[in-house]
Amino acid sequence: REQACKTSEKLNDIEFNFVICSPLSRALQTYEIIFSKRNLKLYINPLMREHVVHSCDIGKQPKELQFKFPNIDFGNLEKYWWNNGIKIQENKIIFEKINDLNLRIKKFKKLIGNLKEKRVAIIGHGTFFSKIIDYYLNNCEYEILKFN
């Protein structure tokens, strides 16, 4: 929480067009601390979710997220969004294949490349972003990038 508050202060003077956020709870909590008081459109996108290798990388179904974050719209999420929409066994972690992660990264880059807006805040996760910027960001660390 303290890290997010410090990041909020640092980003306060940047006028973002909108925010794209991972649906994992820790990213949503970061969004709430940094951006919820701004009048910005929020788009929830599972492409930036963490690479599923640990239990903390498992998401919650949209109805659970809606209960926990009532002011956020999760209508675009599939039931098992963290597992590429494939039904899971609730008592077993199904690791995400590296090829699936790389495909998500490719889709994400295409999404970002097609945006007309110039200032977009993106809230996601370390492993995912490290594959894009070749650097592991610390919690609540930010990087300002220009995409062509």
- Cβ partners under 8 Å of residue 105, min gap 6: 128, 131, 132
- Cβ partners under 8 Å of residue 14, min gap 6: 119, 121
pLDDT digits (tens, 9 = 90+) for 8-67: 778 888 889 999 999 999 899 989 988 888 889 999 999 888 776 666 667 788 999 999
The domain segmentation of the chain, as residue ranges, is: 2-133
Residue 75 confidence (pLDDT): 92
Pick the CATH number of 2-133 from 2.60.120.1090, 3.40.50.1240, 3.40.50.10470, 3.40.50.720: 3.40.50.1240
Q: Which helix (H) or strand (E) holds 21?
A: strand 18-21
Q: Which among 47, 50, 53 is positioned nearest to 25, based on CA atoms?
A: 50
pLDDT digits (tens, 9 = 90+) for 88-136: 666 666 777 888 889 989 999 999 889 888 889 988 888 888 888 888 8
Residue 90 confidence (pLDDT): 60
Q: What pTM was computed for the model?
A: 0.84
Residue 31 confidence (pLDDT): 93
Tokens of residue 38, six digits: 């701004």
